[in-house]
Amino acid sequence: MKHRGVTIWLTGLSGAGKTTITQALEKELRSRGCEKLEVLDGDIVRQNLTKGLGFSKEDRDTNIRRIGFVAHLLTRNGVIVLVSAISPYREVREEVGQKIGDFVEVFVNAPLSICEERDVKGLYKKARAGEIQKFTGIDDPYEPPNNPTVECRTDLESLDESVGKIVTKLESLGYISN
């Protein structure tokens, strides 16, 4: 399959469905013959590339800029990059998107109440109990994109519908062929 390098940046609250969509999107793109594809998952990046950073605004911004730097290197070399990261601050996402250029922002949108219901890691419960400070969506802000390229409403649509929306947009933008 012919494709161009692009970063597909999935942003949203913890529990919104970013990782689930990323995994399904990766599977779909690979089934279509996209071999030059890499996934940068926020949790895995924090364990390796940005280990030692905390959760202050400055550290979060540094984390996103580092992920963006790696995504940019891969994108300019013809790789489809799937980034799954909360990336709570709009200004830094926009900065990274401008630097990368070939950038598709996907807002994985689910209400906070739904994200809390899906809380498989128990993070919201700990944040509500005061055991975790500066938790995005509870006592630290999440700034949704003003104009995302794609919005996936994971409380209202199926996983297949969300993945289909992203694939359709990538086709219409000429990043992948249909």
- 16 among annotated binding-site residues: yes
Separation in Å, CA 16 to CA 6, 48, 80, 178: 23, 23, 22, 28
Per-residue pLDDT of the chain (178 residues; tens, 9 = 90+): 567 899 999 999 999 999 999 999 999 999 998 889 999 988 787 777 767 777 788 888 888 999 999 999 999 999 999 999 999 999 999 999 999 999 999 999 999 999 999 988 888 998 899 898 888 989 889 999 999 999 999 999 999 999 999 999 999 999 998 7
Closest residue by Cα to residue 10 from 2, 1, 20: 20
Q: Provide the 8-state DSSP code for 68.
A: H
DSSP state of 136: B
Residue 178 included in any domain: no
| CATH at residue 169 | 3.40.50.300
**Domain presence at residue 158:** yes
Structural domain count, the chain: 1
Closest CA to 66 of 33, 98, 42: 42
Residue 126 counted as domain residue: yes
Give φ, ψ of 140 to 5 degrees. Answer: -140, 140
Whether 1 is covered by a domain: the verdict is no
CA separation (Å) from 82 to 58, 71, 102? 23, 8, 12
**108 found inside a domain:** yes
- Contact assessment for residue 73 and residue 36, using Cβ atoms and an 8 Å cutoff: no
**Domain span at residue 126?**
6-173
Indicate which residues carry an active-site annotation.
87
The three-point CA angle 58-62-67 to 5° equals: 150
Q: Is residue 13 part of a domain?
A: yes
15 annotated ligand binder? yes
> Is 174 annotated as ligand-binding?
no
Place of tokens 């969509």: 21
